[in-house]
């Protein structure tokens, strides 16, 4: 938890009328005058440890304190005040000391950073205590009213199942400060600016955020001026809520942050439940569309009516199948529930009707567009929003003019996803389509055609058998793959395998011997390259 202390500060108390009439002067511990005062005690007893609590302000005339020449006694008195966390000590001149306090007392207070105030004029301590006490009580009442306002705000948001946007707008309004929600990778997901819209709050965000670590659920980072609250449990944190707070946050602001985090978690739970139900319904609709025999079929008409009720128009609409798949090796692993929620939000923001469902660890999406719309552009925009948050592969089938082509466009999207290389390349498009895949696209369309499998076995079978028999000593298939991936330079091909040119040439000679083929023959190279790509798409099952 953030350490926050409500109350009137000593600096504020010194500006009160009764204090000002007493001509106060801070003679030590000036830096500590921003400490909050919880209450006021007046006493002449030197043994104050049992009387005071943290935040209490002591009023005294000094009559009961050790003698001026007892430096150790005066220091011990100050030590006790510092140990209990006193807000400071106020000494009225006139009874014990006429013009100045002992140097030992001043030095001890300065050493501890404990504010020491002298009053040059006589005043009633009861009046001082009453004025400060009334101000403390007023502030406590104000904080209680603010706490009730925060409670009512977030209770209403929870009852209304408010969206994350509504929750964050409430935080922005209550905090009057910039608000950011970031994911576990420190990437901002939502941002609402503070009073100064051009404050550069998001500048260099990921790098700055990675350096911020707070203990517990909520903490304050003074360097950035951030109040940070964890979203999710300790074991499964999915992000953080950050509120701009240049100064140490009040209890009210901490309450705002933690209630907002709870509201976001509740929304996330409801959203996941709603999303699960929605995806189950969408799966039924997509299956029905894919299996429909025609618009004149009674069952197909029923599916069409259900689609319309679900907000997915199919009459006189073009339809495009999309597959979203987590990229292998993504860190952290892709959470399909999270991806599905992002797809739904992105489609809603683009006003793009979409069915979203999960099938065999893929998200299958069917989007509906008016005949005059640019379906490819809309799918690209949808993918861009998803890729901004998740490490996924997005593949799309060709747009079909009516519902009779749903099975074809969805199947094609899956085939394209299967054909996409897992390793990310610099010029990869956001959305992969058949036209982007060339040979891979053709082989993806052929799928697991038995003739393709036989072709792979015929071309690569001898090398596969050799490598299995030879173990890892030569790996002729790897050498062949390196040659075909570096057609312009055998030196680069050898380097990719960390082999010398002589060793690489020896392996090429062995490949030619095993296959009984000339690797310099263009037709041979093309045939072997096709076989290698097909084998990869088949998952190596043609061995």
Assess whether pLDDT exceeds 70 at residue 543.
no
Tell me what the mean pLDDT of segment 87-108 comes to. 90
Q: Which long-range contacts (CB under 8 A, 24 or more apart) does 297-301 make?
A: 300/403
Q: Measured between alpha carbons, how far is 526 from 98 in angstroms, rounded to an integer? A: 105
- For residue 279, count other CB atoms closer than 10 A to its CB: 22
Element (H, E) at 510: helix 501-515
Question: Both tokens of residue 526?
Answer: 């093309």
In words, the CATH class of domain 8-135 is alpha beta
What local confidence, expressed as pLDDT, does residue 542 receive? 46
Distance from the first to the final alpha carbon of the chain: 59
Using the predicted structure, report yes or no on whether residue 366 has a pLDDT greater than 90.
yes
Distance of CA 144 to the CA centre of its chain: 32
Q: Which of 97, 81, 84 is nearest to 29 (CA)?
A: 81
CATH topology of domain 311-446: Alpha-Beta Plaits (3.30.70)
pLDDT score at 43:
87
What's the pLDDT tens digit per position in 105-160? 999 999 999 999 999 888 888 888 888 888 877 777 777 777 777 777 777 777 76
The answer to pTM > 0.85 is no
- Spatial distance between the Cα atoms of 175 and 170, rounded to a whole number of angstroms: 8
Per CATH, 161-291 and 311-446 having the same topology is answered: no
Domain 161-291: which CATH number of 3.40.50.300, 1.10.3720.10, 3.60.21.10, 3.30.450.40: 3.30.450.40
* Mean pLDDT across the chain: 83
Q: Give Cα separations from 367 to 248, 300, 354, 398 (angstroms).
A: 49, 18, 4, 12
Q: Where are the domains of the chain?
A: 8-135, 161-291, 311-446, 450-537
Q: What is the pLDDT of residues 374-403, one digit of tens each?
A: 999 999 999 999 999 888 999 999 999 999
Which token pair is 212? 């911020």
CB count within 10 Å of CB 499 equals 17
Has residue 274 got a pLDDT over 50?
Answer: yes
pLDDT value, residue 4? 40
Q: Which sign does the torsion angle of CA 338, 342, 348, 349 carry? A: positive
pLDDT reported for residue 527: 86
The whole-number pLDDT of residue 226 equals 93
pLDDT digits (tens, 9 = 90+) for 293-347: 444 555 567 788 888 878 899 999 999 999 999 887 666 677 888 898 899 999 9
């Amino acid at each position: 938890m953030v350490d926050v202390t409500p109350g009137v500060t000593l600096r504020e108390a010194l500006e009160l009328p009764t204090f000002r009439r007493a001509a106060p002067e801070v003679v030590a511990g000036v830096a500590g005058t921003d400490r909050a005062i919880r209450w006021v005690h007046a006493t002449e007893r030197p043994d104050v440890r049992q009387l005071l609590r943290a935040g209490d302000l002591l009023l005294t005339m000094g009559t009961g304190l050790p003698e001026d020449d007892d430096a150790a006694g005066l220091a011990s008195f100050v030590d006790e005040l510092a140990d209990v966390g006193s807000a400071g000590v106020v000494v009225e001149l006139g009874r014990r000391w006429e013009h100045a306090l002992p140097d030992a007392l001043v030095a001890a207070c300065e050493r501890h950073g404990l504010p020491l105030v002298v009053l040059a004029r006589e005043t009633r301590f009861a009046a001082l205590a009453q004025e400060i006490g009334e101000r403390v009580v007023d502030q406590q009442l104000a904080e209680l009213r603010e706490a009730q306002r925060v409670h009512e705000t977030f209770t209403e948001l929870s009852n209304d199942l408010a969206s994350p946007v509504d929750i964050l707008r409430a935080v922005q309004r209550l905090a009057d400060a910039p608000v950011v929600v970031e994911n576990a990778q420190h990437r901002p997901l939502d941002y609402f600016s503070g009073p100064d819209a051009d404050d550069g709050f998001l500048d260099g965000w990921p790098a700055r955020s990675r350096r911020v670590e707070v203990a517990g659920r909520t903490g304050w980072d003074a360097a950035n001026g951030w109040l940070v609250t964890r979203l999710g449990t300790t074991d499964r944190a999915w992000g953080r809520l950050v509120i701009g707070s240049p100064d140490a946050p009040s209890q009210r602001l901490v309450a705002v942050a933690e209630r907002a985090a709870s509201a976001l978690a509740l929304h996330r739970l409801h959203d996941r439940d709603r999303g699960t139900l929605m995806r189950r319904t969408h799966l039924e609709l997509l299956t029905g569309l894919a299996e429909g025999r025609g618009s004149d079929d009674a069952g197909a008409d029923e599916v069409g009516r259900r689609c319309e009720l679900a907000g997915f128009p199919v009459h006189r609409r073009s339809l495009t199948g999309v597959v979203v798949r987590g990229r292998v090796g993504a860190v952290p692993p892709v959470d399909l529930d999270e991806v599905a929620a992002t797809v739904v939000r992105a489609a809603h923001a683009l006003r793009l009707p979409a069915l979203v469902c999960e099938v065999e660890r893929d998200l299958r999406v069917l989007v509906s567009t008016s005949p005059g719309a640019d379906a490819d552009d809309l799918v690209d925009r949808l993918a861009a929003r998803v890729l901004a948050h998740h490490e996924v592969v997005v593949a799309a089938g060709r747009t079909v003019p009516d519902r009779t082509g749903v099975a074809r466009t969805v199947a094609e999207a899956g085939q394209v996803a299967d054909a996409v290389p897992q390793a990310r390349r610099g010029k990869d498009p956001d959305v992969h389509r058949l036209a982007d895949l060339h040979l891979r696209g053709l082989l993806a369309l052929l799928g697991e055609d038995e003739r393709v499998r036989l072709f792979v076995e015929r071309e690569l079978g001898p090398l596969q058998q050799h490598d299995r028999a030879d173990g890892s000593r030569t790996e002729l298939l790897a050498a062949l793959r390196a040659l075909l991936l570096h057609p312009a330079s055998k030196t680069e091909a050898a380097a990719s395998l960390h082999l010398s040119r002589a060793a690489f040439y020896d392996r090429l000679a062995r490949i030619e011997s095993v296959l009984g083929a000339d690797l310099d023959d263009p037709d041979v190279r093309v045939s072997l390259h096709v076989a290698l790509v097909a084998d990869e798409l088949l998952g190596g099952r043609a061995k």
